[in-house]
Structure 1
Amino acid sequence: MKNIITILLISATSLMFAQKSSTEKADRLFDRMWYKEASVLYEAQAQKLADNDKRNSSEDHQDYVRVLKRAGDAYFFNTDMENANRCYDELLSNHYSDVEPEYIFRYAHTLEGIGRYREAKRWMKEFSKRTENKDDRSDKLNQVNQTVEDVLDIEPGFTLKNVSVNTKYSDFGPMYYKDKLVYSSAIDTSNYHTRIYHWNEQPFLDMYLGELNDIESDLDKINEFSEEINTRYHEATLAFSPDETKVYFTRNNYDGDLGRDGNGTNHLKLYSAELSRDNDSILSWNNIKELPFNSEDYSVGHPSVSEDGKLLYFVSDMPGSIGATDIFVVDILEDDATSDAEYSGYSKPRNLGDNVNTAGREMFPYITDRALYFASDGHLGLGALDVFESKIKDQTFDTPINLGAPLNSELDDFGFIIREDKNTGFVCSNRLTGKGDDDIYSFVRLPEAAPKPCDQIIRGYVSNTITGERIANVAMTLYDESGKELEKTTTDISGAYAFEKVLGCATEFNVTAAKTGYGPKEKPVLTLDETGETVVALGLETVNELIVEEGGILKIKIGIIYFDLDKSYIRKNDAAIELNKIVLLMQEYPNMVIQIESHTDSRNTDSYNMALSDRRAKSTRDYIISQGISADRIESAKGFGESQLINKCSDGVSCTEAEHQFNRRSEFIIVKM
């Protein structure tokens, strides 16, 4: 913005050089913050140096770079982002090694100011790299969890209206006073000669009072707020005590003359005045005095008083500031009681800290019982100053939130005030769609949209942890964090499952998997924090290494049961040894019930093979029973002959002995455990 912000921001930036040059007049104008006039001279000098054949000399080169910087800064501090971008672009494109990191930061801001957000993001990363991540603006403007695109996607929360009293000059700094609105304007209504503040060639600022309409969206019947407070120089931004008998306001460092420090900078100060009634019962603001923490060396301004009247918030670049300008707070003490006479009536100023303040500019605080509202170019925004909200929680301020468009724009948006109970208020902006320089807009805060449901579907799969094969028909159960059963399902043929129950995001739950022959598995899970699916994979292992699953059927896998040719008795030296493994397993799991199936190869006749395999199955059953296993735990013992060959070796097919051996097998199928 092109007005009171600039006064508070700049004394003499450390990036400027005090060397003598042919731009001495422009430098004097710049140091006095006559930026518009200074920019004309800098531009002319830059063009002259650009055309100079001698600019290849080191001295001329340095002078040209310095003039480009000053020209860009003159535009930047006057919020002429397009021209500032042009100058900074020349600097970074052709003189990068001569550019301090601060100019990368400013260049990124000008890109935001002209709507080139993607490029701004890239240059802000370059700023972070150049500052080795030591400047917190790189962190706050490149937040991990938010981008400029996220700010642009914020649902509109306000409707804005340009108020009728705006002029072609600067109108800003609204504040409620009874059923009226006080604001600052550069409209020239004095009887003196036109008073111009030269950084943007506008009349000096005074405060005016207007009556609000019924819905507080506009105002009329404009009068001067106070003859006692308004002077020949700047008065702006004020705040009232809860009973509205005391006012705090911002004024130039002025005591009969416009005072300046050694750098030619005229700082801001905070003043207070009290409402009194004279003998004719006419109310007026009197007893005007400076606040004790003002200084000739730094600025103090833009007050806001807490609703209980105990705290005074303000902006300053005083020692202890984190950035260009910070928000501070003091206690307003009763009866001027204080332990420090230096701050009579007030406590020592306290910086609000780096959760609110950044290395950039924090401006125009407005405190309610709900939140602190302020403008900043140090937090992630849409360009220049944006309005942020920091909610009050446990007497501390939460991480500031950008209030999004249309409240915020590519240029300066600031001076936000609100009646929390009515959701109405005012904000200021120098966006290009306004009537003049800074304009006042009334707004209505829209009801907060109901939060979009954040839903999570739970799905996944179950596999064998040893073989990696997916497991079908696994009983899956979903429990909430308290252990309450929510739903049951089973895995399909591919081992996949999905619950129909919809859970909330970031919700704790448990999934269990169980199947006969496998050890149970439970897995605690936290759903994701955005709508979608949480995939939960579980691995199961059989309860014993002899138990395997083939084609969805649990079997006991032992070595080959060998029989003598055409015989069915159990050989003690090999077959019995393998069958004893089954006996031991069934003793370990006393509820296990099995089926025995015996198979032959294709050699010999079908009827012969069927009879032989059946005898072998029953012989196997009898042996297991003889070892102490109850007969009712063997559900069946049956031969299948050559009817279930597992390879190509059917009748008439030539096969090796090894290939035939694959078909001569005994299988032990687990029915239950």
Structure 2
Amino acid sequence: MKNIITLLLLATLSITQAQNSNEKADRLFDRMWYKEASALYELELKKAERKNQNFGNSNDSTYVNLLKRAGDSYYFNTDMENAYRWYDKLVSNYYSSVDAEYIFRYAHALQGIGQYRDAKRWMKEFSKRTEHKDDRSPKFSQKIITVEDILYIEPRFVLKNVSTNTKYSDFGPMYYKDKLVYSSAVDSSTFHTRIYHWNEQPFLNMYLGELNEIQSDVKLIDEFSDKLNTRYHEATLAFSPDETKVYFTRNNYDGDLGRDGKGTNHLKLYSAELKPNRDSVLTWKNVKELPFNSEDYSVGHPTVSKDGKLLYFVSDMPGSIGATDIFVVDILEENETTKQDSTFTGYSRPRNLGAKVNTAGREMFPYITNNALYFASDGHLGLGGLDVYESRVIEEQFQNPVNLGAPLNSKLDDFGFIVNEPKNRGFVCSNRLTGKGDDDIYSFVRLPEPEGPLCEQAIRGYISNSITGERISNVNMSLLSDTGELLETTTTNIAGAYTFNTVLDCATPYKVTAEKTGYEPKEKPTLTLDENGETVVALGLETLNELIVEEKGMLKIKIGIIYFDLDKSFIRNHAAIELNKIVLLMTQYPKMVIKIESHTDSRNSNAYNLSLSDRRAKSTRDYIISQGIDAKRIESANGFGESQLINNCLDGVSCSEAEHQLNRRSEFIIVKM
């Protein structure tokens, strides 16, 4: 996101100060004026690269810090294309010394530009570097779940960009009566327009929108409350069940005000109550800071449980696992404190939701229902920056979060999810490029889950030679539906095994095909098992001709031994009979191309044997060509002398004639067919 998300994050950032020439850019960066800062960093980097000042030298700390800051200035503004440009240079040139956190950001930038394959590799590198040191490590190792698993999640959401979106940032929707309250940076007539320098947009305020009959679109009515909207940021709110009390986030960032000792401005949570004014008109009054706010950390993005007893929020307060975590407090009577702790009147001490939900990254924008906690995170494996996750509540315990998949999630930031569960309708926010402006609000319809327990199957197996039983590697495998639709392709490994990753239905017909050069293709109809698990499909392949065999992954033509007279290289009658089998086979398969390799035993000198074998290989080639085979179909004909013996009959070793004969061989290797 390009607005209030990063206000929470900045309290946790600590980046080395640049040298004097970069101080202006650093000051802008520290004030969160990222657009201005990125332009200056670009200029400084161009100067450095023109001068070639130790470019690529890991000791050049100034250049390294410039790369980091340039990448960060775009990363925190969710401009992943430009973040990738500088992170790529950082990682490419300083791979061995770059911090693991920049490997993490680099992977996210790659996701943000849709390069999932490369992102997957760098996620694994991040996991490897931070093993046992960062709780994101096992989540990004992809040993349990991979990016492909998330991409293959069956779509359950249909999204629509709502009418009220503007070219500015619109986000943070929340139901209020039969309407929708949301935050926007659209110009307001209540105050003089004041620009927020982070992204050249006006400050955020809360607005009220009217929902259409099916809750699929929003029409702007007015500001939500002139009593709550101020000259600073107001955003993300939640209501008590009876909607007479509101909790909302405020940030008084003005470039100078309300900053801590490190120069960071923090979010705070406030509450207000719906009370009648002098004219008996209900209005929001009695605005209060919540007692667990602080000048040293941020607190914001509230959501209230449906029974009104619990308030969840996001913070980077002490006790946080990562950059920002989700916490919860008990909502008490106004002057009540807990017996165990009287620190906060009206609320219990905040409790961290723990490592099942929270990570070393950012957990943001929680929304609680009776059935689940929904939140955005970049610390769990996902498709882009922030993804939306669902953690089911079973017996008052949060379960492992599940990514809700595309199209709800995208390669950029997706967050601010709320849902009317009985109607399976709701809203989510995203800065994906198909929107109207910065952050946009999207309405969605959620398709209901299938009735009954899910039954899922996968297909794996192995391929072997149907004659010899030898496993065959590099076989092209295809998985097709019963109607012939291609679902997935893969190849067998060195052990002849294969696995399809596509999640399949139980007790359903599919087809598995196997193809490899030199073998007859094979197709096998398959019915998956009627229970969760895997269906094993083994296939036996036969070569196209009995003369074709596979040895150590290479296809060869096996004929009888080609005998030559002692110290001679001309083709004898017996040899011609065997070579005619190759001529016939190559005539039968006109696209076949071969190469010829000739070998000798170890008797005689190395030089003599090399020359003799080479003459024999070329004599063999010439004979095949003389029988009508195009010379272009013989890629090469070379002798290797005694350099590739297939037994231990080396110089000086006593061997029988039969053992020496094994080394005197000609090989015909199929290059293509």
Q: In 1, are the aligned partners of 2:18 and 2:62 still within 8 Å (CA)?
A: no
Residues in 1 aligned to 2:291 and 2:76: alpha-carbon distance in whole angstroms: 29
Offset, 1:200: 1.1
Offset, 1:449: 3.1
Q: In 2, are the aligned partners of 1:141 and 1:381 still within 8 Å (CA)?
A: no
- Asked whether 1:387 is paired with 2:388, we answer yes
Q: In 2, are the aligned partners of 1:252 and 1:258 still within 8 Å (CA)?
A: no
Q: AA paired with 2:46? A: Q
Q: AA paired with 1:530? A: G
- Asked whether 1:331 is paired with 2:330, we answer yes
Q: How has the CA–CA distance of structure 1 residues 74 and 454 changed in structure 2, closer, same or farther, with 3 Å as cutoff?
A: closer
**Cα deviations by residue, 1:465-519 (Å, 9 ceiling, x for unpaired):** xxxxxxxxxxxxxxxxxxxxxxxxxxxxxxxxxxxxxx989xxxxxxxxxxxxxx
Structure with max Cα Rg:
1
Q: Which moved more, 1:138-147 or 1:296-305?
A: 138-147
Q: How has the CA–CA distance of structure 1 residues 21 and 312 changed in structure 2, closer, same or farther, with 3 Å as cutoff?
A: same
Give the paired residue count.
Answer: 470
Q: Which moved more, 1:134-143 or 1:363-372?
A: 134-143
Q: How has the CA–CA distance of structure 1 residues 35 and 239 changed in structure 2, closer, same or farther, with 3 Å as cutoff?
A: same
Residues in 2 aligned to 1:107 and 1:254: alpha-carbon distance in whole angstroms: 29
Q: Which moved more, 1:344-353 or 1:97-106?
A: 97-106
Residues in 2 aligned to 1:456 and 1:112: alpha-carbon distance in whole angstroms: 27
Counterpart for residue 109 of structure 2: 110
Counterpart for residue 365 of structure 1: 366
**Cα deviations by residue, 1:281-315 (Å, 9 ceiling, x for unpaired):** 21111100100110101100000000000000000
- Asked whether 1:81 is paired with 2:84, we answer no
Counterpart for residue 119 of structure 2: 120
**Cα deviations by residue, 1:353-408 (Å, 9 ceiling, x for unpaired):** 00000011000000000100000011111010000000000111000000001100
Residues in 2 aligned to 1:143 and 1:201: alpha-carbon distance in whole angstroms: 39
Q: How has the CA–CA distance of structure 1 residues 456 and 242 changed in structure 2, closer, same or farther, with 3 Å as cutoff?
A: closer
Offset, 1:138: 2.1
Q: AA paired with 2:239? A: F
Q: AA paired with 2:381? A: L
Counterpart for residue 3 of structure 2: 3
Q: AA paired with 1:348? A: R
Counterpart for residue 652 of structure 1: none
Residues in 1 aligned to 2:30 and 2:458: alpha-carbon distance in whole angstroms: 59
Counterpart for residue 245 of structure 2: 246
Q: In 2, are the aligned partners of 1:253 and 1:296 still within 8 Å (CA)?
A: no
RMSD between aligned residues: 2.6
> Where do 5+ consecutive residues of structure 1 fail to align?
458-502, 506-525, 536-673
Secondary structure (helix, strand or coil) at the match of 1:11 reads: helix
Q: How has the CA–CA distance of structure 1 residues 286 and 255 changed in structure 2, closer, same or farther, with 3 Å as cutoff?
A: farther
Residues in 2 aligned to 1:59 and 1:116: alpha-carbon distance in whole angstroms: 27
- Asked whether 1:440 is paired with 2:441, we answer yes
Counterpart for residue 532 of structure 1: 535
Offset, 1:534: 10
Q: AA paired with 1:13? A: L
Residues in 1 aligned to 2:456 and 2:206: alpha-carbon distance in whole angstroms: 49
Offset, 1:454: 4.8
Offset, 1:266: 1.2
Q: In 2, are the aligned partners of 1:456 and 1:534 still within 8 Å (CA)?
A: no
Counterpart for residue 409 of structure 1: 410
Q: In 1, are the aligned partners of 2:237 and 2:249 still within 8 Å (CA)?
A: yes
Q: How has the CA–CA distance of structure 1 residues 289 and 173 changed in structure 2, closer, same or farther, with 3 Å as cutoff?
A: same
TM-score if structure 2 supplies the norm length?
0.67
Counterpart for residue 278 of structure 1: 277
**Cα deviations by residue, 1:60-84 (Å, 9 ceiling, x for unpaired):** 8211110110000010000000100
Q: AA paired with 2:265? A: N
Offset, 1:140: 1.1
Counterpart for residue 176 of structure 2: 177
Counterpart for residue 165 of structure 2: 166
**Cα deviations by residue, 1:318-343 (Å, 9 ceiling, x for unpaired):** 01000100000000012421143431
Counterpart for residue 603 of structure 2: none
> Where do 5+ consecutive residues of structure 2 fail to align?
460-504, 508-528, 539-673
Residues in 1 aligned to 2:116 and 2:457: alpha-carbon distance in whole angstroms: 32
Q: AA paired with 1:272? A: S
Secondary structure (helix, strand or coil) at the match of 1:107 reads: helix
Secondary structure (helix, strand or coil) at the match of 1:322 reads: coil
**Cα deviations by residue, 1:100-159 (Å, 9 ceiling, x for unpaired):** 111001000111111111111111111122223421212112343311111011111110
Q: How has the CA–CA distance of structure 1 residues 409 and 57 changed in structure 2, closer, same or farther, with 3 Å as cutoff?
A: closer
Q: AA paired with 2:336? A: A
Q: How has the CA–CA distance of structure 1 residues 337 and 90 changed in structure 2, closer, same or farther, with 3 Å as cutoff?
A: same
Offset, 1:19: 4.9
Offset, 1:456: 11
TM-score if structure 1 supplies the norm length?
0.67
Report 1:437-476 matches (<5 A).
Answer: 437-450=438-451, 453-454=455-456
Secondary structure (helix, strand or coil) at the match of 1:51 reads: helix
Counterpart for residue 18 of structure 1: 17
Offset, 1:255: 11
Secondary structure (helix, strand or coil) at the match of 1:324 reads: coil
Secondary structure (helix, strand or coil) at the match of 1:448 reads: coil
